Every structure is written in structure tokens, then in C-alpha cells.
Amino acid sequence: MPIERNAKYSGLNNTSVGIPDRYIKNSIGSFNMVQGNYIARVIENVDNDYDGSIYVEVVGQQSIVDTSTEEGRKSTFKVRRPSPFGGSIQGSNYGNNYGASFPPPTPGTEVLVAFTGTDQTGFLLGVLPDSNRNASVPGLPSGQIAGEDAIGPTFDSSTRSSDKARHPVANAHAVQGIGYDAVRGPGSSGGRRESPSNVAGFLTPGGHGIVMDDGTLPVKEGSSIAPDKSREAGKSNLIRIRSGSGAQFLINDSAGIVYLINQNGSSWIQMDAAGNVDIYAQGSVSMHAETDFNLHVGGDFNLDADGVNIKSRGSDGIKLETGTGGIDLYSNKELRLFTNLDIHQKATGGIRLTSGNMIDLNGPPAATASKTTPKNITVNRGVKESTAGRVPEHEPWGGHSDGDTIVPAQAPSSSSTTAKDYDLSKPTGSSGQGAATGSTPNTGITGQGSAAPSNTGFTPRGPQ
């Protein structure tokens, strides 16, 4: 029967139409050969040759095999995975392979595959995401956490429910102290935030992710849509590299910051739009220069410590000079001066020595040295007073001047296509965004399904 070239697609995996005859499925040497493009479902992704090949069952042409056994699964169609980039340089005694590598799609995933007809090993053309369940890729955006009156990073909903389970990164946010921080913590970089999507990136099964987000789009009829029609454009314009345990490097153009934090929040660094560089370390900050260490301050240099130790190893010693002001030394106890050689004192004016007890030389009363002036730091939770006027602390730190409270929502995986954006300034519930919990599901992936540690010495709390 001749094929009508104008025919429309009418069902799953029908014979291709509207393309040259050589792509039409036929038989070769009395063998029925698959040929063309097919929708298939992954049956096995364990490859004994370590080449990354997968085994699939073509939708609509399932063979009767026992997929509960390895032999049965590997009697289905074998499919190779091409790479969009790579190559191999063969030398006389080496092979230099380069390219891109990604984990294979897991069993149950729908894929698009192609067969040449002469070779029954197919080629993977791409992965077909589950319908309405593409929110978590690539940036693990925040959503309503199932069973909790809170939002945070979640897994996508299952095919049996629209509820979203808490992701381990939500626990990391709690320990780090950024669970209520819409700039550094809960994000919105997902595939269902708007259409067309303005987000690109990668997400591994274990939660490691690279996100390039061009920011929220203005809602404009005929051009773009979003779950919240009143959404503000330009939010979440960022690049984020984050590990599955929550450590991240963030370049946020919307907030004008560059930010780095470790897994448990015990150290972080930020550069903001005002030119401030803030560093917090729960432990020590150590630096070593083999040659010179140069520090130039246009304003005040403030140092506040339990003890200050300075030593000069070289012959130049220590030199202190003031340009216009004086030098005040104030000691709460004894002031001791010792030298292995002579003490030289020279003043263009007079020299005054005053003592409450006897002194050999006693002229007019000497002036009292001035103390340092402490500064009140109202934005801090711990260090409320210091000679240094800006003291970073464990997150959440009130000294950030680039705060935001709105997290754009993803379109739900239900029949509804609308959702209001989240406002983190109005947290509710005792186990909210800033709390760790053990309710993360066991996904079978190392590092997931465990609660955040409870002995961090830090109690998460909401914005001030």
C-alpha cells in the first residue's frame, strides 16, 4: 500500500511518513528490521562494556521477555549514546579522548531512539521528560514541601501524586542559615517557572547542579506566561554552581553579589555591589605570603581581638608613623617596655612623666591616652559591639544589604496552571524553610534521604 506523503501523525511509533523511502521500516533478508525513529522506554542502564549503552523496549512493539532478569532485560534493543562533543586522538603509545559525559537515563525513562535498519543497535536521540514533571531541573527550585507548612527545594512530584517531597538541599539551607534568604538560599531556577523557559543548566541524579538563569520574564500575552501573572521581571538573574550537599558558588546579577558558602555554613565569602568584601569563618582565617603582604586602607583600619601578637623577624624591625594625628597607647594593666640595648626618646617639645607614686622626674601632669571607640552593631545576633564596625556572622547575617523575600513559583504538576509566588518574609509553621528535618525520601542515591545534622550549634531563625 503506497504511503500518503501528506499524512499526519496518528499514533505511537507508526511508520514514518513524509520522508524518503529509505527510512521506511522494512525487512532485510526475511528478517524484520526496525528502522527509523521510535519512542522507547529504558529497561536497563547497566552496561557490561562500560560504554554507557542502554537497553530499551520500543513503545508499541514490546517483546515478551522477562525483564526481572538481567538476561531478559539485555535481550531488548541495545542503544548507544552519542555525545554532542568529543573525539579521540590516537598517538603511537597513547589515546587522548575528550568530550562530554553524563549519567545514562534510568530505567522507566522515555527516550527517543533511532535505528538505521542495517544495524539493530540503536542510537539515543534524546530523553523525553515526564509530562508536567520538569520543575526540579536544573536548579532544584523551591516549592511547597509535602506535609510541612513551608517551602524549600523539593523533588518533583511522582506520577501518583502532585505532592513534592523535601530535597536534602533544603536541610543544607537550614544548617547553613539561608533557608529564608531568597537571594542565597531557596531559588526559582526550574523548567516550569515561565514559558518559554529562561533557565539553562544541568542537574545530576545526586543533586549536583550548574544553572545559568537569565531571570524572570515579564508576563506578556502572546509572548510569555507565568503561574503568577503579577510576577516582577528580572528576578533570579544568576549563575549557580551547587553540590548535592548544598555548598555553592553564586553569581547573582539581580542582587549584584558574588557569594561562596560551604556545606554547613561554617564559612562564607561575599562581594557585593557596594564594593564590600565580607568573610566569615567559624574556624580560622589563615594567609601566607612568601614575599610581601600589602594592605592599603583608604579609611580606618580596625582590629578587635582577644589577643594581638605582632613579631618582626627581619632587621628592619617595626615602624609606626602617623601623618597628622598622634599615637595613643592605653593599657588596662601594666605597660612594659624592654630592650636588649638602649632606649632613645626624643621630643621636639617637652617630655612629661606623671606617676601616682614616686618618680625621679616629675613635671607637669602627663595626658591620658585615649581608648578605642567601640561601635554598636545592631544588625548582628552575636557580636553586638566591636572596634570593627562590620562583623560578618554565621548566616542569616543581618548585614546583607541586598535582601529579597520573593521566590517565583513553578507551575504545578496538576490540572491547575496558576500559583502565587512565595514571600519568605511571612514564614509560617515551626518546621519552616529554616528548619532541618529527617523527612527526605530515600531515593537510593548516596547522600540523599538523610537528615541534616542537629549538633551544629546554630539555631535557624527567620529574617529580622
Q: Which three cell numbers stand for residue 364?
A: 607637669
Q: Note down pLDDT in tens along the chain; length 464 residues.
A: 454 444 444 445 555 444 444 444 555 554 567 889 999 999 999 999 999 999 999 988 766 788 889 998 998 999 999 998 999 999 999 999 999 899 999 999 999 999 998 888 999 999 998 888 889 999 999 998 988 888 899 998 887 777 889 999 999 999 999 999 999 999 999 999 999 999 999 999 999 999 999 999 999 988 999 999 999 999 999 999 999 999 999 999 999 999 999 999 999 999 999 999 999 999 999 998 889 998 989 999 999 999 999 989 889 899 998 989 999 999 998 888 888 888 888 888 888 877 777 766 666 777 777 788 888 999 999 999 998 889 999 999 999 988 788 999 999 877 677 889 999 887 554 444 555 555 555 554 444 434 433 333 333 333 33
User: pLDDT tens digit string along 97-111?
Assistant: 999 899 999 999 999
Angstrom distance (rounded) from CA 157 to CA 161: 6
Residue with cell 530535597: 167
From the list 76, 139, 80, the residue with the least C-alpha distance to 105 is 80
Residue 85 CA: distances (Å) to CA of 81, 101, 322: 12, 9, 61
For position 409, what pLDDT does the model report?
Answer: 92
For position 117, what pLDDT does the model report?
Answer: 84
Domains in the chain (CATH in brackets) are 21-128 (2.40.50.260), 134-285+375-464 (no CATH)
Answer for the pair 375, 388: CB distance below 8 angstroms, yes or no. yes
Answer for the pair 391, 374: CB distance below 8 angstroms, yes or no. no
For position 14, what pLDDT does the model report?
Answer: 52
User: H/E/C letters for each residue in the chain?
Assistant: CCCCCCCCCCCCCCCCCCCCHHHCCEEECCEEECCEEEEEEEEECCCCCCCCCEEEEECCCCCCCCCCCHHHHCCCEEEECCCCCEEEEECCCCEEEEECCCCCCCCCCEEEEEECCCCCCEEEEEEECCCCCCCCCECCCEEEECCCCCEEEECCCCCCCCCECECHHHHHHHHHCCCCCCCCCCCCCECCCCECCCEEEEECCCCCEEEEEECCCCCECCCEECCCCCCCCCCCEEEEEECCCCCEEEEECCCCEEEEECCCCCEEEEECCCCCEEEEECCCCCCCCCCCCCCCCCCCCCCCCCCCCCCCCCCCCCCCCCCCCCCCCCCCCCCCCCCCCCCCCCCCCCCCCCCCCCCCCCCCCCCCCCCCCCEECCCCCCCCEECCCCCCCCCCCCCCCCCCCEECCCCCCCCCCCCCCEECCCCCCCCCCCCCCCCCCCCCCCCCCCCCCCCCCCCCCCCC
Nearest 5°: phi and psi at 126? Answer: 175, 170
For position 193, what pLDDT does the model report?
Answer: 94
For position 9, what pLDDT does the model report?
Answer: 40
For position 67, what pLDDT does the model report?
Answer: 85
For position 24, what pLDDT does the model report?
Answer: 46
For position 363, what pLDDT does the model report?
Answer: 67
Give this prediction's pTM.
Answer: 0.81
For position 4, what pLDDT does the model report?
Answer: 46
User: pLDDT tens digit string along 313-363?
Assistant: 889 899 998 989 999 999 998 888 888 888 888 888 888 877 777 766 666
Buried/exposed code over 254-270 (b: 16+ C-beta within 10 A; e: otherwise): bbebbbebbbbbbbbbb
For position 62, what pLDDT does the model report?
Answer: 64
Angstrom distance (rounded) from CA 248 to CA 288: 25
